[in-house]
Amino acid sequence: MARWFFKRARPAARTLSLRSRGDAGNAQRVAFEALAPDIDTFLGQAAYLQLGYFETLSELIAPTPELSQKESLSLAAGAALLKHRGLVGLIRGRGDDALDIMLPFREPLDAFRRATHGARPLETMLSVHITAGMLDDFYVALSSSYGETGREAAAILGADHDRQALVDMIVAAIDSDDDWRALLAMWGRRLVGDTLLIARAALRPTTLDAADEQKVEPVFSDLLAAHSRRMGAMGLDA
């Protein structure tokens, strides 16, 4: 797993900013400089993830029969592409080649996308909504480690994802058929492990000792809590 990430120059002091549990309005500063990835890993992985979401959503448009649903998929795909382009702009603004920065993550993130691609379109829509939501949260949390570049990245990742229409399609399906509810609830639970592995692989070192685990625990607790809220909002048991 360590081969996924290259150590690059330009080291900087890093601090991870988190919302404290029970208080969404205040940030809890957690010393995390030994675990936060370098800025090229942060930007490269985040940018390639958004490109993958664009590709996955675009692939769903052709086999989708309803014009309104095609439009919903195209809007969500477009939002992911805008985030990708914004992050690529940050990479280029630092004087780097965006393709070079993203290339180390192509193989593992393509494998992640295949592993979370459902057998049915609704499963894949849920995959994008759940995994993008969790990983956007993760990278927004990490963004405070990188000064002005991090603030710009957080603004890009926090922009409207245009997935609400997809959520509405999922809710309509489960409201009409309890079999969908059971299947999608199980699928949503399966997505969590693969998604957390992607987040953990971004940290360094990739093998964490007990002290590091204590630093990481609040981050992943917040990700899981947000995941439960997303699932609950769709009437699915997380």
Contact between 12 and 179 under an 8 Å Cβ cutoff? The reply is no
223 Cα distance to chain centroid? 10
Answer whether residue 4 shows pLDDT above 80.
Answer: no
Q: Report how far residue 80's alpha carbon sits from residue 165's, in angstroms, rounded to the nearest whole number.
A: 14
Answer whether residue 1 shows pLDDT above 50.
Answer: no
Paired tokens of 26: 């205040």
Q: Identify the pLDDT of residue 221.
A: 87
| CA atoms within 13 A of residue 170's CA, in its CB half-sphere | 31
Answer whether residue 5 shows pLDDT above 70.
Answer: no
pTM for the predicted model, two decimal places: 0.83
Q: What percentage of the chain exceeds 90 in pLDDT?
A: 70
How does pLDDT run across 101-129, given as a tens digit for each residue?
Answer: 999 999 999 999 999 999 999 999 999 99
Beta carbons within 8 Å of 149's beta carbon, 6+ residues apart: 39, 43, 90, 94
Paired tokens of 47: 């940018």
